[in-house]
Structure 1
Amino acid sequence: MNRLKQLAPGLLFTAAMALPGYLLGLLIPFIGAPIFSMAIGIIWNHTLRKPAACKAGITFTSKKILQWSIIAMGCGLNLRQVWETGTASLTVTLCTLATAFIVAFLVGKLLKMEGHMQTLVGAGTAICGGSAIAAVAPIIEAKEMQIALSISTIFLYNIVAALFFPPLGHVMGLSDLGFGLWAGSAINDTSSVVAAGYTYSEAAGQYATIVKLTRSTFIIPICIFLAVLVSMKRRKEGTAGTGSGASLIRIIPWFILYFLAASLLHTVGVIPDALVPYTTFAGKYMIDMALFSIGLAVDFRQLVKTGAKPVLLGGIVWISVILVCLAVQFATGKV
């Protein structure tokens, strides 16, 4: 009960502030409610103070409500569709994963950056933005400043992607599924994937979300691989480290399993088709709430202070992923 009292002001605040974005999205669907909601949050953060009593609820909305929104969207999907989309996107996903880590390593060396920064930016770009960075950081024992810089860098390109991917998709004439595959594979964070996808179209949003969740599961093997590398390095150096002891339970993105469970319930008829429009609306509105909350965390003034190298590294890695993703899609006819 105390936890609910702590969260309630922020939840009510984000729910109320998502309404303007939702209404603007109805008036101008080409831009979409998620983009408007995020923009309103960014403008608020640079012009007004966030209500102190709302801090806990805002943080909760940006993380947990976003996950719940994806689970709600899963209520309208067929599990066979989820499986087919996940397997169809596997080639693109593997190519973009390899590209992100290889380019991050090579460019990081060229820029003479610390190895941890290369790994963090590579993981954030390859898998799932800030979530991947948060999972990888304790394994490689990254410093707080390195974590902050890498998350800020990734977040900057999330904003750029959410704003510019939909119009670029239209310029290239991508189909709904082609855009969904591109957005789900080449945009860093789940929130921006969802924003860009559903701005493009309903079908693109569904496809992009499934592709992104499939990509997010790679956080598990990547973290295990890094843990093994760190452990081998410690043994070779004859030193003890705590990074390789990161818990597998903590690494697993559990909300993906709940998303699959929701899809299964709809597939077998436990969630009837008549209920789907309501779960879809709830999911979309929660997305708007989450995007407003995430917009409140954007501080361009802080990004200016971080220096050019992390931003340059993140930009080069991200552009490489975008181009490789498009190249593979055109080569395989998935546009």
Structure 2
Amino acid sequence: MQVDARAKAAQPEWKRILPGAAFALMMGAVGLWLARLTFFQNLGLSALPLAILLGLIIGNSGLISNVPALNPGLEFAKAKLLRLGIILFGFKLTFQDIAHVGLPGIAIAIAMVASVLVVTWVLGKYLFKMDDETTLLVGTGAAICGAAAVLAAEPVLKAKSHAVSVAVATVVVFGTLAMFLYPLIGHALGMQPYAYGLYAGSTIHEVAQVVVAGRAFGEEAANYAVIEKMIRVILLAPFLFALSAWLRARTQATTHTRTPLVIPWFAVLFMLVGAFNSLHLLDPAWVQGILQFDNWILAAAMAALGVRTHWRSVKQAGAKPLLLATSVFVWLIVGGYAINTLVLLLFV
């Protein structure tokens, strides 16, 4: 046994990582395939939540519990591949898109992100008495860009796998509900395409869910909704910096020792990639190819996260995360409409 352990330790790092990383990439590919099926497209489920669900099923089935050789690669996938995926996610951005929704769109996006984070923190900490990690992850997913934002916040928070899985689950449940509810709300209130697009884009969790809810109202509304959603995505990097600085200040206040500021460099690179993409130097076909690759590695990171999450841990979280997410969803609908209406009255 000692000889085997020494032999494994003497292996090059890439050989230790390769089996688990390849397995994660394979699960990510399955998640991408599932996301192309009409059934899941109609539900607005993208590859990321499908990949984590696949990982949860495989990880908790016992099929790979006796294959420890996969562990290094799975850890690599949910850490390093995750960061690379967030960096390349910047190719979804072009700063020129902001001009299409104007100052009202920018103001609404900032107000919604800030309000959702505050509401989530107050309810999670003081009403439901939840832990910081789960509270912040639920709020991040609802405020910014769903599962991708939850994944981006995970390394900054150093969150446990089950907290990430719970937060992603709330994104899936309430984002799916939003796709069906929002067109009904928009028609009932007699909203115009521009106003509806800003409302849907500023308050629905995932990009895919925004697209479905927007198209259900009309193509013009869908275009405004996606651009508004992209402004929220752009706010991901400033949020991660603010989160890192806040965690540092809180640690210093409790320990009375100076700690260095942990800079989320992947967030810096995410913004730089977005700035580069705004120059339109790459052929659109290349950008599309990069985004497809990016979706694959993010799905692989999600799948690895799912494998490393045990049902027992998710069950131990109890009903509180669901109650918190329900409360935040009500705020997104009601508070979001109020903020959208007020901003449009001020600017238009």
Structural mapping, 1:46-85, within 5 Å:
46-47=60-61, 48-50=63-65, 51-81=67-97
1:44 matched to 2:61: no
1:168 matched to 2:178: yes
Which of 286, 301, 305 is the equivalent residue of 1:290? 301
Q: Match for 1:170: what amino acid?
A: F
For the 8 Å contact 1:41–1:296, the answer to whether it is kept is yes
> What CA distance in whole angstroms lies between the structure 2 residues aligned with 1:307 and 1:295?
16
Distance 1:170 1:43, change over 3 A: same
Q: Which residue of 1 aligns with 2:49?
A: 35
For the 8 Å contact 2:170–2:322, the answer to whether it is kept is no
Distance 1:126 1:69, change over 3 A: same
> What CA distance in whole angstroms lies between the structure 2 residues aligned with 1:195 and 1:55?
31
Compute the displacement of 1:58 (Å).
Answer: 1.3
Which of 321, 332, 336 is the equivalent residue of 1:329? 336
Q: Which moved more, 1:124-133 or 1:11-20?
A: 124-133
For the 8 Å contact 1:101–1:123, the answer to whether it is kept is yes
For the 8 Å contact 2:90–2:273, the answer to whether it is kept is yes
Q: Which residue of 2 aligns with 1:247?
A: 260
Compute the displacement of 1:130 (Å).
Answer: 7.4
Which of 17, 25, 33 is the equivalent residue of 1:15? 25
Which of 324, 327, 338 is the equivalent residue of 1:320? 327
Could you list the runs of 5+ residues in structure 2 that have no partner in the other structure?
1-10, 141-148, 187-195, 216-221, 344-348
Q: Which residue of 2 aligns with 1:126?
A: 139
For the 8 Å contact 1:169–1:179, the answer to whether it is kept is no
Distance 1:296 1:205, change over 3 A: farther
Q: Match for 2:25: what amino acid?
A: A
Compute the displacement of 1:303 (Å).
Answer: 3.0
Q: Which moved more, 1:71-80 or 1:9-18?
A: 71-80
- Per-residue CA deviations over 1:92-135 (Å, capped at 9, x if unaligned) read 01111211222233215xxxx5xxx5544443333465765764
Distance 1:283 1:89, change over 3 A: same
Greater C-alpha radius of gyration: 2
Three-state SS of the structure 2 residue aligned to 1:61 is: helix
Q: Which residue of 1 aligns with 2:3?
A: none
- Per-residue CA deviations over 1:209-239 (Å, capped at 9, x if unaligned) read 652551463344355446545655x6xxxxx
Compute the displacement of 1:27 (Å).
Answer: 2.3
Compute the displacement of 1:16 (Å).
Answer: 1.8
Distance 1:297 1:136, change over 3 A: closer
Compute the displacement of 1:280 (Å).
Answer: 1.7
> What CA distance in whole angstroms lies between the structure 2 residues aligned with 1:45 and 1:172?
35
> What CA distance in whole angstroms lies between the structure 1 residues aligned with 2:180 and 2:298?
23
Structural mapping, 1:91-130, within 5 Å:
91-108=111-128, 118-127=131-140, 129=150
1:218 matched to 2:239: yes
> What CA distance in whole angstroms lies between the structure 1 residues aligned with 2:212 and 2:64?
28
> What CA distance in whole angstroms lies between the structure 2 residues aligned with 1:64 and 1:199?
31
Q: CA RMSD in A?
A: 3.7
Q: Which moved more, 1:278-287 or 1:77-86?
A: 77-86
> What CA distance in whole angstroms lies between the structure 1 residues aligned with 2:52 and 2:285?
30
Q: Which residue of 1 aligns with 2:202?
A: 181
Distance 1:156 1:118, change over 3 A: closer
For the 8 Å contact 2:17–2:73, the answer to whether it is kept is yes
Distance 1:27 1:118, change over 3 A: closer
Instruction: State the TM-score, normalized to the length of structure 1.
Output: 0.71
Three-state SS of the structure 2 residue aligned to 1:247 is: coil
For the 8 Å contact 2:92–2:291, the answer to whether it is kept is yes
> What CA distance in whole angstroms lies between the structure 2 residues aligned with 1:66 and 1:199?
26
Q: Which residue of 2 aligns with 1:89?
A: 109
- Count of matched residue pairs: 295
Q: Match for 1:19: what amino acid?
A: A
- Per-residue CA deviations over 1:132-190 (Å, capped at 9, x if unaligned) read 576468xxxxxxxxx75xx635532422422552353233227676444324xxx5xxx
Instruction: State the TM-score, normalized to the length of structure 2.
Output: 0.69
